[in-house]
Amino acid sequence: MFFRQIYEPGLAHASYMIGCQATGEVLVIDAKRDIDTYVDIARQEKLRITHLAETHIHADFLSGTRELADVTGAMMYLSDAGGPEWQYEFDHVGLADGDSFMVGNIKIDVLHTPGHTPEHISFLATDTPASTHVPIMIFTGDFVFVGDVGRPDLLEKAAGYTGTMEIGARQMWKSLERFKALPDHIQVHPAHGAGSACGKALGAIPSSTVGYEKLVNWALRHTNEEQFVAELLSGQPEPPAYFAHMKKLNKVVRPLRPTLKAPPRRTADDVRAHMALGHTVVDTRSKVSFAGGHIPGSLNIQNNKAFSTWAGWMLNYEEPFIVVARESDVDDIVRKLARIGLDAIDGFIDDVAVWSDAGGALSTVSHMSVDELLQRYDHEGVTVIDVRGASEYGAGHIPGAWNIHAGYLRHYLADIPEDGVVVVSCQAGDRSSIATSLLLRDGRTNVVNFPPGYAGWIAAHAPVSTELDVRERA
């Protein structure tokens, strides 16, 4: 038996290869879009990718299943459960609860496990040469995570399916009863780990067992359905804006992109012409470098683990963009963008010196220290905007601060004071740099970043409030 987890930390996404070394066949489950990873592993292990499967129509990334099918000729095994609105609109082998298929000597049984989404299925794997009736592992997708379960509110909050949250929560309750009936020894392999927006308390370890989850997973320890539903629906993180777009693209016929192409190097004149059309320059350098000097009007989305998510929050899928990035980082950035379907990258420059050497002026970002904010946070004419999530803000914040999640800030630009001083804060300065750059791009001149963030505020033993002024998505 062959088994491999492929983990992508930027989206906290796990995909899997499971196969039969005797026949050389292998199944890929929940593939990411940069598919060369799977092709290379199969080649190295002398295996053929013959089967492809998905646990559900994903919202947080653009699936690479169809690209893999195009390149390898493998058959796609996809859910036909969930009703008419949840059907894949391209050719595939449809799966329902109780179905099974073989990958060489590996038997895959299908369990319909709705809750996160109506069509969600899980895959129970049995290594038949070892035992024909004792399963070894279950691939749970966004059903059961390590320490958590899939959120049922995404369809309503991100995709606009009104009235689906409670229905999904009660479906999850029933699906978990089925999970609890599985033998304790079965390994649990979910599609996401800590950092994913598909749940609120995902564990950092890569896998678990059914027995362990029964003991420690908060959702599996509930004995009252009403209390379970209430807890499941509370405190979930804000769903990134691009999730609805992914839901659509992952079930319809779309252009395929089996190989990734490097974007062209651009000149200062190219950047100037690009910006004259109102298009975006994304500066992927560190927040410190950005603050020290950047192309006026550019957005600072640092090329770190959260780059994909924040690019999805901040960029227009219909608009080309240029990135500021070292040439050695461009392939990594292209992959991160491709994983969420942002294919409109129109080139790169490797340093802002390309701009300044051609006579372009650079802008800087003003910042405020903890000591200075302590003296001014409650003064008239000083507005503190906390761009963290609502649950973070509710747990404690700078007194008087407004809460506008950084991903929703563009909807509230008209509310931001144009006089006085606007201080932008998050937890440790990354999200506030994104938000500050957005406000500067909007032409604001009274914006100051607070790089220490709430962590620095707490470390200084500054006053804290839990009174709410939460401004949610428009």
pLDDT, tens digit, for every residue of 223-282?
999 999 999 999 898 999 899 999 999 999 999 999 999 999 999 999 999 999 999 999
DSSP 434: H
Measured between alpha carbons, how far is 100 from 122 in angstroms, rounded to an integer?
A: 11
* Mean pLDDT computed over 396-416: 96
CA 294 to CA 285: how far, in whole Å? Answer: 10
Report pLDDT for 471. Answer: 67
Q: Give the pLDDT confidence score for residue 184 in this predicted structure.
A: 98
99-136: burial string, b at 16+ Cβ within 10 Å, e else: bebebbbbbbbbbbbbbbbbbbbbbbbbbbeeeeeebb
Q: Are 150 and 199 in contact (CB under 8 A)?
A: yes
Query: CA distances (Å), 163 to each of 167, 244, 302, 460, 465, in order?
Result: 7, 16, 36, 44, 33
Collapsing DSSP to helix, strand or coil, 131 comes out as coil
Residue 25, token pair as written in the block: 């066949």
Indicate the class that CATH gives domain 2-249: alpha beta
pLDDT over 90, % of the chain: 92
pLDDT at 445: 95
- Among residues 404, 367, 385, 373, which one has the least CA distance to residue 290? 367
473 — pLDDT class (breaks 50, 70, 90): very low
Token pair for 120 = 């969600």
Residues in the chain: 474
Domains of the chain, by residue range, sit at 2-249, 268-356, 370-471
Longest dimension (CA), the chain: 74
DSSP code of residue 238: P
Please state the pTM of the whole predicted model. Answer: 0.94
Give 343-375 pLDDT, tens digit per residue.
999 999 999 999 999 999 999 999 999 999 999
The CATH number given to 370-471 is 3.40.250.10
Measure the CA–CA gap between 416 and 439, rounded to whole angstroms: 9
| CATH architecture, range 268-356 | 3-Layer(aba) Sandwich (3.40)
